[in-house]
Amino acid sequence: MISATPSGGWLQSSPTVPGLGFCLGTRLQMTWLDEASPSALVPGRRPRTTLTPTLVLRDGEPLIALGSPGGDQQDQWQLLFLLRVLVGGYTPQQAIDAPALHTTSFPGSFWPRTWTPGGAVVEDRLGDDVIAGLERRGHVVTRAGDWSLGRLSAVTRDPATGLLGAAANPRGAQGYAAGR
């Protein structure tokens, strides 16, 4: 079982280095030119990253491999999935299909590093009552539509039986699940 998150191809959004005429790669954009930053562009320092292919084990046996494209949202969408499956009892497909959300309350990893203090981007399917509750608590809510957030895919394996399973995100018609 493997989880991988291929990434790249963001040249259209990468800033051009003034005077040099080339763009920073997808991950090099995540460095800061502020020497005090933990992600400063200095030898031997690693910037934060959004690549988070995930493998869930139980007693050393693989149970779930999952991943998602999506920059800063990857960890947030995967956390929703893991909480729903491991704590909430959802099937992997139910967890992926459930309404998604993410915060924008931290400076973005990628240029131009925008952020919205208290920001929350939510699918409308979260429901008017829940969304109104977030707004009452001071969140700056952006409604993204009904099926717009998340791109997770996951595979599962039952260690007791060897039964394989898969789940894919219907959003954006980008993912699919297949097995053999």
The upper half-sphere exposure of residue 142, i.e. CA atoms within 13 Å in the direction of its Cβ, equals: 15
CB–CB of 11/29 below 8 Å? no
- pTM of the entire predicted model: 0.84
- Phi–psi pair at 53, nearest 5 degrees: -60, 140
The one-character DSSP state at 85 is I
CA distance 10 to 29: 10
Q: Which of 1-5, 25-29, 157-161 has the lowest mean pLDDT?
A: 25-29
Average pLDDT rounded to a whole number, residues 25-44: 80
Q: Which of 38-47, 88-97, 144-153 has the lowest mean pLDDT?
A: 38-47
Expressed in angstroms, the distance from the first to the final Cα of the chain is 13
Q: Are strands 61-67 and 153-157 parallel, antiparallel or unpaired?
A: antiparallel
The pLDDT, as a whole number, for residue 50 is 78
CB–CB of 64/88 below 8 Å? no
**Choice between 132 and 8, residue whose per-residue pLDDT is larger:** 132
Average pLDDT rounded to a whole number, residues 8-18: 66
pLDDT at 22 over 80: no
The pLDDT, as a whole number, for residue 113 is 84
Average pLDDT rounded to a whole number, residues 7-35: 72
Scanning the chain, the segments in alpha helix (DSSP H) are 73-82, 92-97, 128-136
Residue type, 48: R
Average pLDDT, the chain: 87
Q: Which of 50-54, 64-68, 116-120 has the lowest mean pLDDT?
A: 50-54
The pLDDT, as a whole number, for residue 47 is 74
Region for 44 from its dihedrals, namely left if φ exceeds 0, alpha if ψ lies in -120 to 50, beta otherwise:
left
The pLDDT, as a whole number, for residue 4 is 75
Q: How far is CA 80 from the centre of its chain?
A: 10
